[in-house]
Chain A
Amino acid sequence: MIVGFALYPLAYEALLATPAAPFAEAFLPAITFMVVVLYTGLFAMSFDFISGYTGYLSFGHAAFYGTGAYFVVLAANGQVPGIPGGTPFMITLLLGAVVAGLLALVIGSVSFRLTGVYFAMITLGFAQVIYELIRSWGYVSTNPTEGATVSGDALAIGVPYVDALSLDVGRLTGESVENLLGLGIDLSTTVVSYYALGIVVVGCYFAMQRILHSPFGRVMIAIRENEERARAVGYPTYRFKLAAFAISGFFGAVAGGVFAAYSRSVAPDGTFYFLVTADALITTIIGGFGTLAGPVFGTLFTQGLEDVLSTESGGVATLLREGLPANVLEADLFGVSLELFVNTAVDGRAPLYLGIIFVLFVLFVPNGILGTLRDRLGGTVGKRLPDYLRRYRR
């Protein structure tokens, strides 16, 4: 999985140099989309961490994403009291995540007095209150509804204060690497950002995975399965839920911070808004609840679909428009020309199809992609795959 992500940009570049390029451009997500997959995937994982493992749907998760994103941007602009403007991104990222963790403790200490749908609603309420606050908080920028922008240098991922071990990220401001390790491989700014962000995301994935495999993670699952019994065998479940929520908020904020570093600007609608949480929910359901890695698959799926159906970098519509002869494009389909049909029903219509696919997933694949795969294999993919490969090799 991780290897696949690591090799993807190289494979993608290689494919673009072959005759299959139009199809690769049309059907494979571009690297810019893959960067989006990384940070939204991490955010969805942090959502799954609390919602999939303790069973408490955190509908206000965008609050932590936004906290991380805004903290990084404000810190970069020197607007956070006590943090000078030039503080390395890795440090502000960590601090922002800690702030979000504390925010989760505050929100959780109230919300965990409730369960089920009431918990979901009260966390949503908190997030919306913060959203409205941020939207009208003049300190953030002169036009808070539009959000804030990093005004200074590019933000770097790596070891703080060691330039050689840091990489600037950002679509326009990032570093590009020429002749990597003398291998003659050139990496564009986007690809460098992709790898730099990828390191952070993979690091967070392993950290969450470690926690879920610890005794603490088992208590989280026990709470999901039967909270009453978990209490009866001696767990102070309130404290466990609170700690899990804080950890989840921490990683949600890392995702937000990474997003902010890459995009260099944050807006309330892209961070604190409840649809940000909804995206995480949808990708988590498609990828598989309670699987941690599943949400990344789900994000890959939804982002891939969006890329294929948009014209920003290739996509089906472009392929059809350029690839089909003119007489086919103008052919009459029930009174509409095919070109018009492509323009209206394919180009940029990802949300429509995503909606249909989402409904189908909920109905027929309730365990999501990874959950179903694990059920079929009878264990996690990493553990079971070697057995299956061995069987086919014989």
Chain B
Amino acid sequence: MLLETEGLTKRFGGITAVDGVDFALEAGELCSIIGPNGAGKTTFFNLLTGVLEPSDGSIRFAPSGDGGPEPAVDITAASPNETALAGIHRSYQITNLFPTLSVLENVRVAAQASRGSDSWKLWRNVADFEEHYAEATAILERIGLADEAETVTENLSHGEKRSLEIGVALAGDPDLLLLDEPTAGVSSEGVDEVVALIEDVAADHSVMLIEHNVEMVMDVSDRIAVLHRGELIADGPPEDVRGDEAVQEAYLGGYGREESAEGGEHAEGDAAADGGRRASAGGGPP
């Protein structure tokens, strides 16, 4: 087991955004998390990375899988920088980069973080650390931005920023990569490139992917977990999940019912869950 959560719960006031989720991920898997808006997907990521502290439950992480050389650690109360150093890195639904730095520096500074005490060497010039640059350059080649290395990040196109999001997450040498809607806002032609990048990255990383594009999810995932109102309602291979009745209900019937009987209450829950997500993802509408 690479990652394991037990009864993971997050409440915002009276609203439960993530509700008793028992989830486990094997090393090397690509598991997608799907669910309607406000299902608690991003909140789930925020709990795993320590941005939010769980109200209840626990998270355990074994960086090299079960029986590996590194022991499993409890990261329930870990801070974001601690989970990052433990090996969990993420990309963001809303682009969250270092806007005025060069593309190369974005990745380089992330690579530097995972190299222990290098960042505290006040007296050494940053150019002396060639290995940081080498790693960053290799990652830029992998995500197809090698030609843009010196470009100021805020001048990139939206699609390029989405790739760089993944690049910055990769720079920390993650054991587990959490990708939060990597295709959000990407044009239909651009999606194929992002999907290719995800498949490439998944070949040598364990990946959890939040995605709304269900067709794409069915294609790339080894496994799909479905969240609905914070609860894990289905978890299994894509074909099983596709036929699952509870999932159909959540995606189709759920919406129908929401508009009639319990519409008010549900909409409120969505808004609150979204609010939590916005606060953590740096503002802007999802």
Contact = CB atoms under 8 A, between A and B. Distances in A.
B79 A231 contact: yes
Interface stretch (A12-20, A232-240, A339-347): A232-240
Contacts of B168: 229, 233
A82 to B, nearest CB: 28
A231 B127 CA distance: 23
A335 interface: no
B81 interface: yes
A214 B109 CA distance: 11
A376 interface: no
A243 B122 CA distance: 10
Interface stretch (A32-40, A45-53, A217-225, A293-301): A217-225
A240 B122 CA distance: 11
A216 interface: yes
B89 interface: yes
A215 B101 contact: no
B129 A231 contact: no
Interface in B141-171: 168, 171
Contact of A235 (B81, B97, B125): B81
Contacts of B113: 219, 233-235
A210 B123 CA distance: 6
Contacts of B126: 213-215, 217-218
Interface residues of B, number: 39
Contacts of A231: 79-81, 84
User: How many residues of A sit at the interface, in one of the four size bands?
Assistant: 20 to 34
Contact of B118 (A215, A237, A243): A215
A226 B80 contact: no
Interface string B257-286: 000000000000000000000000010000
B119 interface: yes
Contact of B122 (A214, A226, A233, A236): A214
A312 B168 CA distance: 57
B199 to A, nearest CB: 24
Interface in B61-82: 79-81
B13 to A, nearest CB: 23
Nearest to A211: B122
B171 A233 contact: yes
A216 B124 CA distance: 9
A235 B83 CA distance: 11
A228 interface: yes
A216 B115 CA distance: 12
B120 A225 contact: no
> Which of B114, B122, B172 lies at the interface centre, i.e. has the most chain A CB atoms within 10 A of its CB?
B122
B97 A226 contact: yes
Interface of A is mostly: helix
Contacts of A237: 81
A236 B81 contact: yes
B275 to A, nearest CB: 17
A240 B92 CA distance: 23
B117 to A, nearest CB: 10
A215 B112 contact: yes
Contacts of B89: 232-233
A216 B79 contact: no
Contacts of A221: 98, 101, 109
Given A214-B121, A226-B98, A232-B51, 20 more contacts: A210-B123, A211-B122, A211-B123, A213-B126, A213-B127, A215-B129, A216-B119, A218-B105, A221-B109, A222-B101, A226-B282, A228-B80, A228-B96, A229-B92, A232-B84, A232-B89, A233-B110, A233-B113, A234-B113, A234-B172
B79 A233 contact: no
B109 A216 contact: no
Nearest to B171: A233
A237 B84 CA distance: 13
A141 B79 CA distance: 48
Contacts of A232: 49, 51, 80-81, 84, 89-90, 96
B81 A215 contact: no
A222 B109 contact: yes
B248 interface: no
Contacts of A235: 81, 113, 119
A247 B110 CA distance: 23
Contacts of B122: 210-211, 214, 216, 247
Nearest to B107: A233
Nearest to A233: B110
A247 B126 CA distance: 18
A214 B125 CA distance: 4
A106 to B, nearest CB: 21
27 contacts: A210-B122, A213-B127, A214-B122, A215-B112, A215-B120, A215-B121, A215-B126, A215-B129, A216-B119, A218-B108, A218-B112, A218-B126, A219-B109, A221-B101, A222-B98, A222-B109, A226-B97, A226-B98, A232-B81, A232-B96, A233-B109, A233-B113, A233-B171, A234-B81, A234-B85, A234-B113, A235-B119
Contacts of A222: 98, 101, 109
Contacts of B98: 221-222, 225-226, 229-230
A237 B122 CA distance: 16
B79 to A, nearest CB: 7
Given A232-B90, A233-B109, A215 B119 contact: yes
Contacts of A219: 109, 112-113, 119
B99 interface: yes
Contacts of A217: 126
A119 B258 CA distance: 44
A233 B119 CA distance: 13
A215 B101 CA distance: 14
Given A218-B109, A235-B113, A229 B119 contact: no
A228 B108 CA distance: 17
A213 B100 contact: no
Nearest to B129: A215
Contacts of B96: 226, 228-229, 232
Contact of A214 (B108, B123, B282): B123
Interface string A336-357: 0000000000000000000000
Contacts of B119: 215-216, 218-219, 235, 240
A383 B172 CA distance: 32
